[in-house]
Amino acid sequence: MPRAVVTGGAGFIGSHLVDRLLAEGWQVVVIDNLITGSLHNLRHHEGNPALEFILHDVRQPFMVEGAVDYVFHLAATASPVDFIKRPLETLTVGSYGTEHALELALAKGAKFLFTSTSEVYGDPLVHPQSEDYWGNVNPIGVRGVYDESKRYAESLVMAYHRYKGADTRIVRVFNTYGERMRLDDGRVVPNFIRQALTGEPITVYGDGRQTRSFCYVSDLIEGLWRMAHTDYHLPVNLGNPDERTILEFAQLIQQLSGSTSPIVFREFLTPDDPHRRRPDITRAKSLLDWEPQVPLEEGLRRTIDDFRRRLNA
């Protein structure tokens, strides 16, 4: 039975990956400091001896007892609200955290998968974004702490691969949504759904003409699972190419949740909010035979149901 370590395994994407690994018969060790993750996300596995939880901040070095076959390094403060509130943690989880996760993989002879981000493309000047694009990032901007920490981490992963022989993979995760996103996470999906369900105004930042492309979490997890089984070491985009403006997105959530909340326009949270974002998934398609299956409307319905349940709990 393979044994995996998942950093950030109590987070939104991390906990869905843990579900998948356990369902595939793996043993899983979750390492999380619970700053943005929550044990709630794993409580359905309570009492399962295949799952072990270690409360630890990956910015400090760590080792795990026993054999480890795979290290999935997901730990990060990934919401703009988080990286504005915790800039130094954001930088160091990307730098020290990634180094420590790589050291664990090297020490154990384990395979390694790092979840990078579409933010490495910054406010992109090329559209859609393919892996060959080097990006347009403001290093000293408010988002720079996240973008640069992930860019540095990619650099570190490649250096460990090239010079230390680490068996690594890099996935660039584009906007992903689904059940278990933190209600107060501050990202657009939790904000709009919470606002729509509680009758608060739906806050569109800027004029709402900026675009994003949203991937449902089960599609992303399938992509991560397939990627974990490749020997491909260069970055691979995973995301849904179905691009919408944020204003369209607000209207869709309003409609799907049957909400009477008005749509209001607010200042951008960060001045360098990317204008457009859509993954070019040609590489994932040919390498993994992967593309998203869940349409936005269906994924949003499931997510709205989950939010409704949690808001009423």
Instruction: Closer to ligand UDP by CB, 69 or 306: give it.
Output: 306
How far is 36 from 46, CA to CA, in rounded Å?
20
How far is 51 from 30, CA to CA, in rounded Å?
8
CB of 108 to ligand UDP, least distance (A): 32
Q: Mind spelling out the 3-state secondary structure of 263-313?
A: EEEECCCCCCCCCCCCECCHHHHHHHCCCCCCCHHHHHHHHHHHHHHHHHC
| Window 36 to 95, contacts with ligand UDP (CB under 6 A) | 80
Instruction: Closer to ligand UDP by CB, 12 or 70: give it.
Output: 12
How far is 177 from 41, CA to CA, in rounded Å?
15
CB of 273 to ligand UDP, least distance (A): 5
What residue has token string 């991390």? 14
| Window 191 to 220, contacts with ligand UDP (CB under 6 A) | 191, 203-205, 210, 212
Distances 268 to 22, 79, 164, 292 between C-alpha atoms, Å: 40, 14, 42, 29
Give the interface segment with ligand UDP, choosing from 24-32, 121-129, 151-159, 184-192 (CB under 6 A): 184-192
Tell whether residue 261 is a contact of ligand UDP (CB under 6 A): no
Instruction: Closer to ligand UDP by CB, 152 or 205: give it.
Output: 205
Active-site entry in 146, 160, 177, 216: 146
Instruction: Closer to ligand UDP by CB, 44 or 209: give it.
Output: 209
Q: Cite the DSSP H helix spans in 28-86.
A: 80-85
DSSP 125: S
- Positions that interact with ligand UDP (CB under 6 A): 80, 175, 187-188, 191, 203-205, 210, 212, 246, 268-269, 273
